[in-house]
Amino acid sequence: MLENVKQIAEKNRALLEEYLRLESVSAQGRQMIETAEMVARIIEDKGGQAEILHLADTAAPPIVYGEFLAGPGGNAEKTLLFYNHYDVQPEDPIDEWETDPFVPTEREGKLYCRGVSDNKANFIARINAIEYWSEQTGGLPCNVKFLLEREEEIGSPHINAYLAQYAGKFAADACIWESGGKDAAERMELSCGVKGIAYFDLAVRTAATDIHSSNAAVIDNAAWRLTQALASMRNADNEILIDGFYDLMIEPTDLEYDVLAKMPFDRQVLRDTYGAKGPFITDNLPYSEKEALIFYPTLTISGLLSGYGGSGAKTVLPAQAKAKLDVRLVPGYSPEAVEQLLRQHLDKHGFKDVELTQLAGVMPFRTDLSSSFIEVVTRAAQKTYGEESVVVMPNSAGTGPMYSFGQYLNVPIVGSGTEYYNSAPHAPNEHIRLTDYYQGIEHMIHLLADFGQ
């Protein structure tokens, strides 16, 4: 099978590279219409039906719907939905790229380009799997649908409305998520959920304008004010001190703990991968690193801005300070509940002057781990990667709009893809390994067959 997979992949290599050259940066609105039109054309050229959908009475950007019907020998009663996105992250910082970010470049068995790992190669891999079955048997083992959106990289603000309006069109029995990949030990990770996120701006002003720092003997400092507010939220042992914060958490089930126990975890690999220094923040907490990554919420200062940060010295008393706060959510949490707790905490501790604004919010989601679909995806993966090289995760530590699919389509969801732990999504020199790409296609070929049975 692998040789047939390579032949199809190479036949469609120019198609993949044409898709990658489109600079579909959603944060900047670049080439979005052209990319949506190309996605629809790819689906139609491979024998499917495609439609560019719009949200009624809004200026929301379009999503792409695709459908391939089961072949004569396939199961027309089963439908598998693939979720992908056609938008990518900005390419900055450009000077850290070794090649042009939007010119696909193969080097030492790796394909470099912005968006290749997140998420364009995964879409083309699934198209290749469909073409394999069309060539081998004249049709698919089951029905296949696609949903490709253009706002995943900016928080999917319209996906709820799209799924509410088009729930019937996207109805399916199960869903394969947009991404997944191999860990540092070359094990394929299948994720059955995601954490959510609540992202906030915090701001405080203590004077009309920046002041000569000699006045610091009397006038409050916005930088101190904001850092004191932030410091009140977590203690030296890294426990989050916001009243009621941990009370929102739904205790994982016995099955979820069992699945977690089977997940391999190597502290040193994590440390080496990111060059992390100092102790892990879980060292003084009553739960493990694995539990923290999968089952627990986070509270992260993502950015701080105040005063003078240029070269040399400037004796200034900052009049304002700003911070970005990233809260990762697990089942039981909602962005709105976290915002309420944060506001109450700031007010209680004397920081009513600190402004709090929610910028983005995505709900967490976890598929029921007793779902038979997880077994089907795992079995198909084992045929490709080997029985000992497939790891099922209750959820990933990252975020995506899975909750909306669960809410409106009521489907089990599993993530699988062509990336690996060092693919550098969102970073300079993003890439995939071509061997992983071929294996990702093969996995989808097996999955379509097994799912259709």
Per-residue pLDDT reduced to its tens digit, 132-145? 999 999 999 999 99
In a domain, 289, yes or no: no
Is the pLDDT assigned to residue 194 strictly greater than 90? yes
Kindly report the CATH number assigned to the domain that includes residue 204.
3.30.70.360
> Residue 182: CA atoms inside 13 Å, Cβ hemisphere, count?
23
Last residue of a domain, one of 338, 362, 386: 362
The answer to whether residues 305 and 419 belong to one domain is no
Number of domains in the chain: 2
What tokens appear for 325 in the block?
């706060």
Same domain, 423 and 327: no
CA pair distance 285, 280, nearest whole angstrom: 10
Please tell me whether residues 70 and 107 are part of one structural domain.
yes
- Same domain (yes/no): 215, 301: yes
Nearest-5° Cα angle at 39, 381 to 178:
30
User: Are residues 398 and 388 both part of a single domain?
Assistant: yes
pLDDT digits (tens, 9 = 90+) for 278-306: 999 999 999 999 999 999 999 999 999 99
- Decide if 282 is inside a domain: no
177: pLDDT strictly greater than 90: yes
Output phi, psi for 147, to 5 deg: -125, 115
Query: Are 106 and 175 within one domain?
Result: yes
**pLDDT 10s digits, 348-361:** 999 999 999 999 99
Average pLDDT on 352-381 reads 98
CA–CA separation, 282 vs 339, rounded Å?
Answer: 24
Nearest CA to 384 among 445, 451, 436, 442? 442
Both 76 and 185 in one domain: the answer is yes
Are 343 and 204 part of one and the same domain? yes
**With 90 as the cut, is the pLDDT of residue 274 above it?**
no
Question: Residues 320-324: what's their mean pLDDT?
Answer: 99
Pair 233, 161 in one domain? no
Residue 429's region, left for phi above 0, alpha for psi from -120 to 50, else beta, is left
Opening angle at CA 143, ends 137 and 144, nearest 5: 105
Give the model's pLDDT for residue 155: 86
Q: Nearest-CA neighbor of 437 among 48, 65, 25, 8?
A: 8
pLDDT of residue 1: 83
Which pLDDT does position 22 carry in this prediction? 98
CATH (domain of 89): 3.40.630.10
Q: What's the confidence (pLDDT) of residue 172?
A: 99
CA distance linking residue 260 with residue 447, whole number of Å: 24
* End position of a domain, from candidates 362, 391, 415: 362
> In percent, how much of the chain has pLDDT > 70?
100
In a shared domain, residues 414 and 382: yes
Annotate 65-92 with b (16+ C-beta within 10 A) or e (fewer).
bbbbbbbeebeeebbbbbbbbbbbbbbe
Strand partners, 188: 182, 390
Please indicate, yes or no, whether residues 241 and 347 belong to a single structural domain of this protein: yes
Instruction: Look at residue 266 and tell me if it is in a domain.
Output: no
Residue type, 202: L
Asked whether residue 168 falls in the same domain as residue 22, the answer is yes
Tokens of 345: 């905490």
Instruction: Determine the Cα–Cα distance for residues 123 and 178; give it in Å rounded to an integer.
Output: 8
Is 271 among the domain residues?
no
Joined together, the tokens standing for residue 148 give 């490709």
Instruction: Give yes or no for residue 91 having a pLDDT over 90.
Output: yes
Cα 409 from chain centroid?
19
Cα 328 to chain centroid distance, Å, stands at 12
**The domain containing residue 422 runs over which residues?**
2-194+364-452
**Average pLDDT over all residues of the chain:** 97
Q: Is residue 348 part of a domain?
A: yes
What is residue 57's predicted lDDT score, i.e. its pLDDT?
86
Which residues contact residue 434 at a Cβ distance below 8 angstroms, ignoring those fewer than 6 apart?
106, 109, 110, 111
pLDDT band with cut points at 50, 70 and 90 for residue 126: very high
Q: What is the mean pLDDT of residues 148-154?
A: 95
pLDDT band at 273 (very low <50, low <70, confident <90, very high): confident
Domain boundary among the residues 333, 362, 391 is at 362
Flag whether 261 is in a domain: no
Which tops the pLDDT comparison, 338 or 58?
338
pLDDT of residue 271: 92
Confidence of residue 377 (pLDDT cuts 50, 70, 90): very high
pLDDT over 90 for what percent of the chain? 97
